[in-house]
């Protein structure tokens, strides 16, 4: 989300600060029960960024409608200028798995150029000193798909 907001600011640098503030993606409403299920996590890998960020925003943003992100994404994808429209169309059509691949460095995407990679992220968060945590974090990022696919879903008896 931070990366996309930076991209919006870069492309619309000429607009005033008030308009740029309204053109940002906001944090999403939390869905704790849904995100803890293994089937949801498996499907999340194939979800496009446009779908992920089109959910309702947090109620913390009372000045904006809950569909703010959805409307912003539509307006960015339907931009009048073709160059901008193509940039955002490509960006919002990437899947979470694509972003994960770019983050860990296994596959590069032009649209995600400028997104921090795994090593830079660990350095920026000053986690490099904690070797055990870094090792565990790198394991889960590099093997995320296999860890998620190994999870078995179960039907709870009500």
User: Taken in order 108, 114, 118, 120, is the CA torsion positive or negative?
Assistant: positive
Model confidence pLDDT, tens digit, residues 64-112: 999 999 999 999 999 999 999 999 999 999 999 999 999 999 899 999 9
Of the listed ranges 4-8, 62-66, 150-154, the least confidently predicted one is 150-154
pTM above 0.75, yes or no: yes
Model confidence pLDDT, tens digit, residues 15-54: 888 888 888 999 998 876 555 677 888 888 899 999 999 9
Residue of higher predicted confidence among 150 and 34: 150
Contacts by 145-153, CB closer than 8 A, 24 or more apart? 145/45, 145/97, 145/100, 148/38, 148/41, 148/42, 148/45, 149/42, 151/38, 151/41, 151/42, 152/38, 153/37, 153/38, 153/39
Q: Are 148 and 100 in contact (CB under 8 A)?
A: no
User: Taken in order 6, 102, 37, 71, is the CA torsion positive or negative?
Assistant: positive
């Amino acid at each position: 989300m931070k990366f996309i907001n930076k991209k919006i600011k870069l492309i619309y640098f000429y607009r005033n600060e008030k308009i740029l503030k309204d053109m940002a993606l906001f944090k999403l409403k939390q869905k704790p029960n849904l995100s803890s299920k293994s089937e949801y996590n498996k499907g999340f890998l194939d979800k496009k960024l446009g779908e992920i960020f089109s959910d309702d925003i947090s109620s913390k943003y009372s000045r904006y409608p809950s569909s703010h992100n959805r409307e912003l994404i539509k307006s960015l994808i339907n931009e009048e200028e073709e160059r901008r429209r193509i940039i955002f169309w490509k960006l919002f059509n990437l899947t979470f798995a694509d972003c994960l691949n770019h983050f860990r460095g296994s596959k590069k995407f032009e649209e995600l150029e400028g997104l921090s990679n795994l090593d830079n992220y660990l350095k920026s968060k000053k986690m490099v000193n904690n070797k055990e945590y870094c090792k565990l974090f790198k394991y889960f990022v590099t093997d995320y798909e296999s860890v998620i696919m190994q999870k078995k879903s179960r039907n709870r008896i009500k």
